[in-house]
Amino acid sequence: MGLSDNAGGRTGLEPRWTPQIEIIESALESSLNDLPENAEAGLISAMRYAVGAGGKRLRPRLLLATVESLGLRSENALDAACAVELVHCASLVLDDLPAMDDASLRRGRRSVHLEFGEATAILVTHGLLAEAFRLIASNCRLMGLGGSETAEAVAFLATQVGVGGMVGGQAMDLSQDTVDAPETVLEEICRRKTASLICACVRIGGLLGRASDEILEALDLFAEKFGIAFQIRDDILDVLVTEEAAGKNVRQDQSNATLARRLGVDEARLLAESFERQALSALEGLKIDSGALKEHVLRHAD
Ligand code: IPE
Ligand code: IPE
Ligand code: MG
Ligand code: MG
Ligand code: MG
C-alpha cells in the first residue's frame, strides 16, 4: 500500500496545502524505501503503517516553509522534513500506547500497537527516531553544512525531543501532580510536549537556510508561540469534535487537565489567538520572506 492511501485525520485541512503534502508523502515513501533491505519485514511494515497513516504533515511543511523563507529551494530539505515527521509519528505511536493515552484510533485507523502488538509499536518508535537523526545529518551534508553546524542541528533536535522537551512534556502530562496544576503549568505542558518539536522544525529549517542568529532567535519565538497555540487548539477539538472527524479518540481521559477543559472552549480559544498573535509578531520586521510561515498560523486558526 502506498503511504498516502489513507487520508484519515485530515478532515477540514485546507486544500491550499495539498500539493505540498503530496511532495512530502512521496519523500516519506522514498525514505522508508531506503531502509536496509535485510531489516525485519514485520518491523518495516509497522513503521510504514505508523508513518503512512494520513496526518496533516504540519511539521515538515513548517520546516520547508522556513527554508523557503530564507530564499533556498525547499526540495533540498526534504530529508530533514521527513525526519521531523518521523519524530512526530514516533511520538504519536508512544502517545497511543496503553500505558500512555491508551488510544485505539489514530488518523482514522487502528493505532499501531493494536495492529502490530505493543512490542513492535515500541520498536517502531525507536526505529523512527534513529532514522530521523540519520536523515537530519545526511541532509545537512547534502546542503553543504560544516561539521559544527550539522552537530548543532542534530543536538538541537535531541534537546527538543528529550527530557526538557517533548518526552519531559509527555511525562508532565501523564503525571497525577498536574491534574490540579495552575494554568501556567498547563501552558508549560503544551510548550514542552508539542511546541518543542515545532521549534526543532523551524530551527533546523533555519540552520539549513543559513539564517543569522537574530533570525534564528525570532524563528524560535515564532515556533514556540505557534506550538503552544497548536496544542491548545488540539485540546479544544478534543472537547468539540467527534472521533470520526478527528480520526482519533476524543474525550477519553476526562481527568486529564487541559487548558480547554480548565478554561472552557471560548476562553481557551482567546488564549490560542493570543499565542498566535505573538507568533506572528515575532516575524515582524525580519528580513525574510515569512508569508508561508504566517499562513500556517492564520490558516490553522479557525
Ligand atoms: C497531534 O498532532 C498531536 C499533537 C501534538 C497535538 P497533529 O494534529 O499534527 O497530528 P497529525 O500529524 O495531523 O495526525
Ligand atoms: C500529544 O498530545 C502530544 C505529543 C507529543 C504526541 P495529545 O495526547 O493531545 O495528542 P492526540 O490528541 O492524542 O493526537
Ligand atoms: Mg497525550
Ligand atoms: Mg493522545
Ligand atoms: Mg489531543
Look at residues 111, 99, 97, 119 and name the one whose alpha carbon lies nearest to residue 42.
119
**For residue 97, is pLDDT > 80?**
yes
Which residues lie below 8 Å from residue 147, measured CB to CB, with a gap of 6+?
none
53-62, 121-130, 223-232: range with lowest mean pLDDT: 53-62
Question: Which residue is closest in CA terms to ligand 1's atom 11?
Answer: 55
Percentage of residues in the chain having pLDDT higher than 90 = 87
Mean pLDDT, rounded, for 173-197: 93
d(CA 279, CA 282): 5
Residue 4 scores a pLDDT above 60: no
Q: What is the pLDDT of residue 301?
A: 66
| Amino acid 245: pLDDT | 92
The mean-pLDDT minimum among 163-172, 244-253, 271-280 falls in: 244-253
pLDDT-derived band at 1, boundaries 50, 70, 90? very low
CA 277 from centroid of its chain's CA atoms? 20
Rounded Cα–Cα distance for residues 4 and 169 (Å): 30
| 78, pLDDT greater than 70 | yes
pLDDT of residue 255: 80
Predicted local distance difference test score (pLDDT) of residue 12: 65
Residues with CB under 6 A from ligand 1: 9, 55-56, 58, 88, 107, 194, 231, 234
- Closest to 290 in 3D by CA, of 205, 229, 208, 232: 205
**Ligand 3 center–CA 161 separation, angstroms:** 15
Specify the 3-state DSSP secondary structure of 53.
strand
* Average pLDDT for 14-23: 89
Compute the distance from residue 235 Cα to the ligand 4 centre, in Å.
10
Q: Which residue has the cell 542541528?
A: 153
Q: Please give the torsion angle defined by the CA atoms of residues 126, 59, 14 and 273, in that order, rounded to the nearest 10 degrees.
A: 120
Query: Which has the minimum average pLDDT: 184-193, 222-231, 292-301?
Result: 292-301
Amino acid type, 193: K
For the CA of 89, the nearest ligand: 1
Atom of ligand 2 nearest to the CA of 96: 13
Nearest protein Cα to ligand 2, atom 12: 234
How remote is the CA of residue 151 from the centroid of ligand 4, in Å? 31
Protein residues within 5 Å, CB atom, of ion ligand 3: 95, 101
pLDDT, mean of residues 270-274: 98
For ligand 1, the distance from its centroid to the CA atom of residue 276, given in whole angstroms, is 17
Q: What local confidence, expressed as pLDDT, does residue 57 receive?
A: 96
- Strand residues in the chain grouped as ranges (E): 105-106, 109-110
> Ligand 1, from 234, 241, 250: best to mutate by most atoms within 8 Å of Cβ?
234
φ, ψ dihedrals at 182, nearest 5°: -65, 165
pLDDT recorded at residue 142: 94
| Ligand 2 pocket residues where CB is under 6 Å | 91-92, 95, 101, 103, 166, 170, 193-194, 234, 248
Name the burial class of residue 176, with classes exposed (0-12), middle (13-18) and buried (19+) by CB atoms within 10 angstroms of its CB: exposed
- Residue 54 is predicted with a pLDDT of 81
